[in-house]
Protein backbone atom coordinates (compact mmCIF):
# COMPACT_ATOMS: atom_id res chain seq x y z
CA UNK A 1 0.00 0.00 0.00
CA UNK A 2 1.65 3.21 -1.19
CA UNK A 3 0.25 6.43 0.21
CA UNK A 4 0.88 10.03 -0.84
CA UNK A 5 0.13 12.83 1.63
CA UNK A 6 -0.27 16.21 -0.05
CA UNK A 7 -0.22 19.30 2.15
CA UNK A 8 -1.91 22.55 1.12
CA UNK A 9 -0.69 24.29 4.26
CA UNK A 10 1.53 23.65 7.25
CA UNK A 11 0.00 20.62 9.02
CA UNK A 12 -1.33 21.31 12.52
CA UNK A 13 -1.19 18.87 15.45
CA UNK A 14 -4.44 17.12 14.47
CA UNK A 15 -3.30 16.66 10.89
CA UNK A 16 0.07 15.33 12.04
CA UNK A 17 -1.65 12.82 14.33
CA UNK A 18 -4.03 11.60 11.62
CA UNK A 19 -1.20 11.29 9.09
CA UNK A 20 0.85 9.33 11.64
CA UNK A 21 -1.97 6.83 12.22
CA UNK A 22 -2.99 6.50 8.58
CA UNK A 23 0.62 6.14 7.44
CA UNK A 24 1.73 3.56 10.02
CA UNK A 25 3.21 0.50 8.34
CA UNK A 26 2.65 1.90 4.86
CA UNK A 27 5.02 3.08 2.19
CA UNK A 28 4.47 6.84 2.34
CA UNK A 29 5.51 9.91 0.41
CA UNK A 30 4.60 13.53 0.91
CA UNK A 31 4.28 16.59 -1.29
CA UNK A 32 4.09 20.18 -0.11
CA UNK A 33 1.91 22.58 -2.08
CA UNK A 34 2.64 25.34 0.38
CA UNK A 35 5.69 26.56 -1.52
CA UNK A 36 6.17 29.37 -3.99
CA UNK A 37 6.23 27.28 -7.16
CA UNK A 38 5.06 23.70 -6.65
CA UNK A 39 6.29 21.20 -9.22
CA UNK A 40 2.91 19.99 -10.43
CA UNK A 41 4.49 17.66 -12.95
CA UNK A 42 6.29 15.88 -10.13
CA UNK A 43 3.04 15.80 -8.16
CA UNK A 44 1.25 14.10 -11.05
CA UNK A 45 4.01 11.51 -11.32
CA UNK A 46 3.68 10.79 -7.61
CA UNK A 47 -0.13 10.56 -7.74
CA UNK A 48 0.05 7.96 -10.51
CA UNK A 49 2.73 5.98 -8.70
CA UNK A 50 0.81 5.40 -5.46
CA UNK A 51 -2.32 3.51 -4.46
CA UNK A 52 -3.93 6.35 -2.51
CA UNK A 53 -3.53 10.12 -2.31
CA UNK A 54 -4.83 12.29 0.53
CA UNK A 55 -4.80 16.03 -0.02
CA UNK A 56 -4.84 17.58 3.44
CA UNK A 57 -5.92 21.16 4.07
List of residues contacting other proteins (CB under 8 A)? 8-9, 14-15, 17-18, 20-22, 24, 52, 54-57
Q: Which is nearer to other proteins, 28 or 41 (CB)?
A: 28
Please report how close the Cβ of residue 57 comes to other proteins at its closest, in angstroms: 4
Give phi and psi for 21, each to the nearest 5: -70, -45
Give how far the C-alpha of residue 56 lies from the chain's centroid of Cα atoms, to the nearest Å. Answer: 7
Beta strands in 1-57 (DSSP E): 2-7, 27-32, 52-56
Please report how close the Cβ of residue 38 comes to other proteins at its closest, in angstroms: 15
Amino acid sequence: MKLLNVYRSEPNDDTKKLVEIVSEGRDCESFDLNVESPDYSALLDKVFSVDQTICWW
